[in-house]
Amino acid sequence: MLDPYLPLVLMFALAGAFALFSVTAAPYIGPRRYNRAKLDAYECGIEPSPQPVIGGGRMPVAYYLTAMLFILFDIEMVFLYPFAVAADKLGLFGLVEIVLFVATVGFAYIYVWRRGGLDWN
């Protein structure tokens, strides 16, 4: 009864074994040439500061807004791909639904644009 799932279980077991082997073998196989430059934080050639300069040590809200907008429009793409695959089978109903979905996300985009959420001062 569970025979069709055997290849899937074997694939997950093989992936887990490979991940475990890679993590445990890396310290023994990899090079061990440590120096100060490798252990420092990388910030595009600029010396890292202990805290953000803007806002007295707090992160600007623009970073969080940008992250939320990225997630919003990324989720839009996640919903559009299955529609693109099954568009011919869904017919007119699918077309109406996806137009409503894109219009809703479009209104959200226009709202964010008009409120200045996409401006970097």
Give mean pLDDT in consecutive 10-residue pieces for the chain, a chain of 121 residues. 90 97 92 76 62 60 80 86 88 91 89 81 65
Global pTM value? 0.47
How do residues 24-46 score in pLDDT, each as one tens digit? 999 899 887 777 777 776 666 66
Which residues contact residue 55 at a Cβ distance below 8 angstroms, ignoring those fewer than 6 apart? none
Do 62 and 120 form a contact (C-beta atoms < 8 A)? Answer: yes
Which residues contact residue 80 at a Cβ distance below 8 angstroms, ignoring those fewer than 6 apart? 98, 102
Write the DSSP assignment of 37-55 as a string of letters: HHHSPPSTTSPPPSS-TTT
Which residues contact residue 25 at a Cβ distance below 8 angstroms, ignoring those fewer than 6 apart? none
